[in-house]
Amino acid sequence: MPLKVYNSYTRQKEIFTPITPGHIGMYVCGPTVSGESHLGHARPYITFDFIYRYLTFKGNKVRYVRNITDAGHFEEEGREAEDKVTKKALLEKLEPMELVQKYTNLFHWAMLQFNCIEPAIEPTATGHIVEQLNMIETIIAAGYAYEVNGSVYFDVKKYAATHDYGKLSGRIIDDLLETTRELDGQEEKRDKADFALWKSAAPEHIMRWKSPWGEGYPGWHIECSAMATKYLGAEFDIHGGGMDLQFPHHESEIAQSTICNHHQPAKYWIHNNMITVNGRKMGKSYNNQIRLTDMFNGTHPLLTQPFAPMTIRFFILQSHYRSPIDFSSEALQASEKALKRLWEAYEVLQKLSVPADQAAGDAEMDEKIVKLVNELEEFMDDDFSTAKVLANMFDLAPIINSIKDGHIPISAVSTATLQLLQNSFKIYLEDILGLKDTTANDNNALDGVMQLLIDIRKEAKSKKDYATSDKIRNQLLSLGIALKDEKDGNMSWNIE
RNA sequence: GGUCCUGUGGCCGAGUGGCUAGGCAAAGCUCUGCAAAAGCUUCUACACCAGUUCGAAUCUGGUCGGGACCUCCA
């Protein structure tokens, strides 16, 4: 079955065909490490993580490149046209690279919490100044950029005369909002639509590099173009990022790369939608961000409790990546419970076993299971519909639990079907959706203690000493350990 | 102002013109010493108005509401 993806560039779902069969180049805009990641940042990285996982599952070798923006984008509208990283560094009295390192480490830690597979290459902007300078020189030589007072700007008007500037973002240059504010550097530009490739650095600016136009630092857009070209070539398969990057960032990347490489950089542009708070995009502009560390700790006025990284991942998976999701503590709570239920069914499933070569005793049930399982790939092939994948899994969960409870006899399903079900749950839940058990316990001592308590409680119950059995169960619960009596007289437990 | 997206049951959210999305919450039942869990059942909606169609949540037009981008932004 062919994979179909929605290409932002053509605004339609297309059959995905890698440029080189079996190999895929994917570039995703990474974080600007001038501050701590918030909930909104989690979405693209989780989204492109399951996309990466799925492409790999489909038998492709994927080179996943995600940059670290550590040079800081100049603030085009800022009074001082200061480098963002530098500005914060001064406030915190840290060396710029010290700050960059701190937030890079924090970012990596958060990605680990979310069970995101690390990219194959994670290039930094500061590590690719040479490549960026080369690219800028090529653009100047081609006549599409000009230098003013040590800064270099891309000539959008000239480019647009012969190229499709605005196609990706659906923009018409003449319709761009007229800004009335006096902006730094604005008067240097020949046209308000022009964007900076290189900015001359003021004397107090710490991050600076030598260039043919004097000391300065690179513009934001050029870094992605330079790194993507270096590691993935003039044309690669996928370029991803948040929808808010379509303009001007990705539009500008297209223009730069097209002039340098004579080619639109990416065959497929994939953009994830935003996470909103009370209907408003989470971000700097609205000052409504919830930092990831606050999510994990529950330390934010909007949170009623801490939320585990897997809960957040599951929350994101429950809606389609191109739909906006509105954050709320209630919605997260629902996700937490749903994930728990699904995961417990999954654990039950892995413990089921049937005799080899058993035929299906209930053909209808057997077929139903096979159908639900086979649809999983169909859904993922349809532009990564993770929400539908989960819906089918929730349809399968009661069947699994019923088999365990005996409401559905184990003889109803064939050996092949049970194995298919077990394998598929593992592949989709763990390998593709990237979920994992967060309550997993690998402490042998605790296991032993729990077994001891369960034995004592069993004994008490058999003597109808309910005072003792209830005491054990209640005390454990107050410690956050839930003990459940099962049908066969056994007891199971898990840490809440 | 320009470009675009969107309005689904108590809440969150899938939705390809005709077929129960799913989750959470709630209620009832079964199981159970009690509880929890689990299973079964119930609650069955598509902002409003008009149109196209045998048939529209799904297409078209309009009205009203919400949002994104046009500035750093995931």
CA–C1' A303–B54 (A): 52
Nearest nt (C1') from A345 Cα: B38
Domain A4-272 identical in fold to domain A292-432: no
Rounded-to-integer distance, Cα A178 and Cα A53, Å: 43
Beta-bridged to residue A74, according to DSSP, are A83
pLDDT band at A178 (very low <50, low <70, confident <90, very high): low
Map out the domains of chain A as residue ranges: 4-272, 292-432, 444-495
Among protein residues, the one whose C-alpha sits closest to the C1' atom of B36 is: A484
- The CATH architecture to which A292-432 belongs is Up-down Bundle (1.20)
Q: Which nucleotides of B are covered by protein (CB under 7 A)?
A: 1-4, 11-15, 21-25, 31-40, 66-74
Sign of dihedral through CA atoms A243, A245, A247, A250?
negative
Contact between A269 and A7 (Cβ < 8 Å): yes
- Chain position carrying tokens 């940059």: A67
What's the order of all strands across the beta sheet hosting A216-218? A145-148, A151-154, A195-200, A216-218
Largest Cα–Cα distance of chain A, in whole Å? 91
Nearest nt (C1') from A405 Cα: B38
> What's the confidence (pLDDT) of residue A159?
94
Contacts of A230 (CB under 8 A, 6+ apart): A123, A128, A131
To the nearest whole percent, how much of chain A has pLDDT over 70? Answer: 93
Among protein residues, the one whose C-alpha sits closest to the C1' atom of B31 is: A487
Q: Which of A13-27, A171-185, A292-306 has the lowest mean pLDDT?
A: A171-185
Amino acid in the structure at residue A473: R
Q: What is the pLDDT of residues A45-64, one digit of tens each?
A: 999 999 999 999 999 999 99
Q: What is the pLDDT of residues A118-162, one digit of tens each?
A: 999 999 999 999 999 999 999 999 999 999 999 999 999 999 999
CATH of A4-272, one of 3.40.50.2000, 3.40.50.620, 3.20.20.80, 3.90.1010.10: 3.40.50.620
Nearest nt (C1') from A402 Cα: B39
Rounded-to-integer distance, Cα A308 and Cα A290, Å: 14
CA–C1' A128–B2 (A): 37
CA–C1' A272–B12 (A): 19
Q: What is chain A's mean pLDDT, rounded?
A: 90
Contacts of A18 (CB under 8 A, 6+ apart): A24, A60, A237
Task: Give Cα separations from A443 to A113, A199, A228, A449, A450 (angstroms).
Answer: 20, 55, 44, 10, 11
> What's the confidence (pLDDT) of residue A495?
82
Q: What is the pLDDT of residues A429-472, one digit of tens each?
A: 999 999 998 776 667 778 888 888 998 998 898 889 999 999 99
